[in-house]
Chain A
Amino acid sequence: MQVMTTQFPSLSPVQKKELSDIAQRIVAPGKGILAADESTGTMSNRLQKINVENTEENRRTFRDLLFSAVDPNCIGGIIFFHETLYQKSDKGVLFPQVIKDKGIVVGIKVDNGTAGLNGTDGEMTTQGLDGLSGRCAQYKKDGCDFAKWRCVLKISDACPSALAIAENANVLARYASICQQNGLVPIVEPEILPDGDHDLLRTQYVTEKVLAATYKALNDHHVYLEGTLLKPNMVTAGHSCPKKFTPQEVGMATVTALRRTVPAAVPGITFLSGGQSEEEATQNLNAMNQTALHRPWKLSFSYGRALQASALAAWKGKAANKKAAQDAFTSRAKSNGLASKGEYTAVSSADQASMQSLHTANYVY
């Protein structure tokens, strides 16, 4: 006989309070996350585009450029890659210390990348659970207070399959449970890729199914929701969808999907930017925060490319360009800080006008 309803508390009230406080600090009003956790391989992609060699020193220099300029008024947390956690600033201070001294929370990517799910149409799960508890304990000692783990799903005729949804939800819940045991707030990231020609409604439908499974798994694994954050995709049409949708439609579809699946106990939702441009990511976040539906969680950002693209392009690996790069970064950070409060005004009035005229009233999502 299966009895599942005896409680064996996984966290003490003190542990819960610590996790809840960390989460609240990260998504304090007007703040979001800088996702600076690009792996070595991913940094290669970024640096190659600006003709910079992918060396450890270049990676250090670029992160130093960002971290020395980062404004704690709009950045509540920064996600690190393992290597970066142990690198130092130009002044010889360990990066986590630099960040902490600014009052920003330090986070760490803890997954070990995707692995194939046999018998599926190219779907994946994510690995990294082995020894995760010990790693989390060490990261906590080394200054981290939150973690990130990315799962990936895709939309096609056959995907996502029931297995992919269930497996990724489960592995996210295991990761979250282990993090909390070690005082780390888990950011739960079930990314649904924007590749494909599907429309907005299809993404919304799939997002609702994926998030419902995610929160059922978190509940099954006794995860303390008040001490977590969610990092989902926005609900957008596929990249090759012929129909275009406005930020208002993206906002409405996204907030509707979240309202149907994400319990109010979750303190904040920090969107990934996926393949969006910097401006697109800001406008969409702004539209979320202006949607006329009640939103009981903070809606903010956890952006990588959407915060760094201009900075990288301005930097080009040259010390002389450092200030220009920092200004570009700071500008995006400020814009997204405003967008997280629904107070962002698009740069050109033409953008504003075009957004308003395409607003679709009344559709019930």
Chain B
Amino acid sequence: MGQKREGCWMPHQYPALTTEQKKELQEIAERITAPGKGILAADESTGSMGKRLNPIGVENTEENRRLYRQLLFTADERMDACIGGVIFFHETLYQNTDDGTNFSQLIKDRGIVVGIKVDKGVVPLAGTDGETTTQGLDGLAERCAQYKKDGADFAKWRSVLKISDNTPSELAIMENANVLARYASICQQNGIVPIVEPEILPDGDHDLKRCQYITEKVLSAVYKALSDHHVYLEGTLLKPNMVTPGHSCPQKYTNEEIAMATVTALRRTVPPAVTGVTFLSGGQSEEEASINLNAINTCPLGKPWALTFSYGRALQASALNAWRGERDNEKAAAEEFLKRAEVNGLAAQGKYESTGDSGAAGQSLYVANHAY
């Protein structure tokens, strides 16, 4: 059985995972995206943390990063009801609270799943219009095995695509889909649920339709690659962009239109076996990210996966502002974080009622899904 023959694909299964491994992966994915729960993306690299701390006048030191993550991770029990998983950056996984408790252990003991960013950033694709792929596959199996020992049960890898007249190119789509599938395959071998993140940047003046079209093409390629690489879909999560117009698009769209375009794109490409879709917030404000997530969950189309959040800035912007590096502000900052966490927990169930507009204005602009 399974002899290799020249030029022939051998249609035999060499099972990548045992039944027990599959069960473990699926259960982890389900715990992260349990009803009302989403992910706190606290995996800002050292460089990215600099961009967050600079505007609030805080020096980007290891201690300040530790103090900041501590105030989030020690927030009160309200966090446990709406946060199913936390994504760590490598440094943070090995930091401790003031009283010496390891952060990873702290989060785990709260019943929240620990995740780890494992990619090593973007690198250019020669011969393209400034497009990139993502590196980090070298030694990834060994790193995953160690992270699993150190408490992580899921991982995250971010690929990036952009929309312009010339992009994304076929190469960028194919290469990023392939590298995401390799990463996912390696994670699963080590008991780690891979979050697959093919982010299409919102930069540009393209409209909603263009973003939807490209999102469908990208996701179709991603799931073909995952199938080719024998990835167990029930033990994965998807972290896509919402379908939105470009930042400089002159036309404005309602939250319902964004939701309809997003859900339509996912329905056409993401197999029902995928346990959950945890949206990135991109450049959206905290409130925008929550309202859009809520609209997605109230969109009147069948949605066979959990639809929730994996937010960084959209969970932390107010908290950072309230903290400003002062220990005395920690409680107030944690309060801001919990507020956003609870709002997004409601949005993930379609139960968030924003005090702002939407409502009647949103409903009157509802467009039948055949136009999408």
Query: Which residues in A have some Cβ–Cβ distance to B below 8 Å?
Result: 1-5, 7, 13, 16-17, 20, 155, 157-162, 165, 201-202, 205-206, 208-209, 212-213, 215-216, 219-220, 225-226, 256, 259-265, 294-296, 363-364
B252 on interface, CB distance cutoff 8 Å: no
B169 & A205 in contact (Cβ 8 Å cutoff):
no
B216 on interface, CB distance cutoff 8 Å: yes
A212 & B13 in contact (Cβ 8 Å cutoff):
no
B169 & A2 in contact (Cβ 8 Å cutoff):
yes
B11 on interface, CB distance cutoff 8 Å: yes
B271 & A261 in contact (Cβ 8 Å cutoff):
yes
Contact with A along B1-42 (1 / 0, CB 8 A): 101010011111100000100110010000000000000000
B1 & A157 in contact (Cβ 8 Å cutoff):
yes
Contact with A along B296-322 (1 / 0, CB 8 A): 000000111000000000000000000
Across-interface contacts of B268 in A (CB, < 8 A): 219, 225, 263, 265
Interface residues of B in 335-364 (CB under 8 A from A): none
Across-interface contacts of B9 in A (CB, < 8 A): 161-162, 165
A219 & B217 in contact (Cβ 8 Å cutoff):
yes
B273 on interface, CB distance cutoff 8 Å: yes
A261 & B370 in contact (Cβ 8 Å cutoff):
no
Asked, given contacts A2-B170, A157-B1, whether A208 binds B12 with beta carbons under 8 Å apart, the answer is no
Give the distance to chain A from B276, nearest Cβ to Cβ, in Å: 13
Can you pick out 6 interface pairs between chain A and chain B where the beta carbons lie within 8 Å of each other? A2-B169, A3-B165, A13-B368, A158-B10, A160-B11, A216-B220
A212 & B302 in contact (Cβ 8 Å cutoff):
no
Across-interface contacts of A16 in B (CB, < 8 A): 370-371
Asked, given contacts A158-B5, A205-B13, A259-B272, whether A20 binds B370 with beta carbons under 8 Å apart, the answer is yes
Interface residues of B in 116-171 (CB under 8 A from A): 127-129, 163, 165-171
B8 & A256 in contact (Cβ 8 Å cutoff):
no
The distance in angstroms between the C-alpha atoms of A363 and B315, with both chains bound, is: 39
A363 & B11 in contact (Cβ 8 Å cutoff):
no
The distance in angstroms between the C-alpha atoms of A296 and B165, with both chains bound, is: 36
B272 & A13 in contact (Cβ 8 Å cutoff):
no
Number of contacts between A and B (CB, 8 Å)? 121
B69 on interface, CB distance cutoff 8 Å: no
Most buried by B among A5, A219, A226, A264: A5
**Quick check: which of B94-102, B107-115, B206-214 contacts chain A, the rest being far away?**
B206-214
Across-interface contacts of A212 in B (CB, < 8 A): 223-224, 227-228
Asked, given contacts A7-B210, A212-B223, whether A364 binds B271 with beta carbons under 8 Å apart, the answer is no
Across-interface contacts of A5 in B (CB, < 8 A): 163, 167-169, 173, 213-214, 217
Across-interface contacts of A208 in B (CB, < 8 A): 227
Across-interface contacts of B5 in A (CB, < 8 A): 158
Give the distance to chain A from B263, nearest Cβ to Cβ, in Å: 9
B169 & A364 in contact (Cβ 8 Å cutoff):
no
The distance in angstroms between the C-alpha atoms of A184 and B5, with both chains bound, is: 41
B82 on interface, CB distance cutoff 8 Å: no
Asked, given contacts A4-B169, A5-B214, whether A209 binds B271 with beta carbons under 8 Å apart, the answer is no
B267 on interface, CB distance cutoff 8 Å: yes
B269 on interface, CB distance cutoff 8 Å: yes
Which range holds the interface residue count of chain B? 35 or more
Give the distance to chain A from B362, nearest Cβ to Cβ, in Å: 21
- Nearest opposing residue in chain A for B23, CB measure: A364
Give the distance to chain B from A3, nearest Cβ to Cβ, in Å: 6
- Nearest opposing residue in chain B for A17, CB measure: B370
Across-interface contacts of A215 in B (CB, < 8 A): 220, 224
The distance in angstroms between the C-alpha atoms of A279 and B165, with both chains bound, is: 56
B216 & A219 in contact (Cβ 8 Å cutoff):
yes
The distance in angstroms between the C-alpha atoms of A294 and B165, with both chains bound, is: 40
B11 & A364 in contact (Cβ 8 Å cutoff):
no
Across-interface contacts of B269 in A (CB, < 8 A): 219, 263
Across-interface contacts of B171 in A (CB, < 8 A): 2
A264 & B272 in contact (Cβ 8 Å cutoff):
yes
Across-interface contacts of A162 in B (CB, < 8 A): 8-9
Q: Which of B12, B19, B223, B368 is within 8 Å of A364, CB to CB?
A: B19
B264 on interface, CB distance cutoff 8 Å: yes
The distance in angstroms between the C-alpha atoms of A294 and B276, with both chains bound, is: 13
The distance in angstroms between the C-alpha atoms of A205 and B223, with both chains bound, is: 16
Known: A158-B8, A212-B223, A263-B268. 4 other contacts (CB 8 A): A5-B167, A215-B220, A220-B220, A259-B273
Q: Which of B13, B128, B210, B233 is within 8 Å of A201, CB to CB?
A: B13
B11 & A206 in contact (Cβ 8 Å cutoff):
yes
B304 & A159 in contact (Cβ 8 Å cutoff):
no
- Nearest opposing residue in chain A for B265, CB measure: A265
A363 & B19 in contact (Cβ 8 Å cutoff):
yes
- Nearest opposing residue in chain A for B212, CB measure: A7
A13 & B209 in contact (Cβ 8 Å cutoff):
no
B259 on interface, CB distance cutoff 8 Å: no
- Nearest opposing residue in chain B for A262, CB measure: B271
The distance in angstroms between the C-alpha atoms of A259 and B217, with both chains bound, is: 20
B270 on interface, CB distance cutoff 8 Å: yes
Give 8 closest A-B pairs by Cβ, nearest first.
Answer: A162-B9, A212-B227, A219-B220, A259-B273, A205-B13, A216-B224, A265-B267, A17-B370
Give the distance to chain A from B204, nearest Cβ to Cβ, in Å: 12
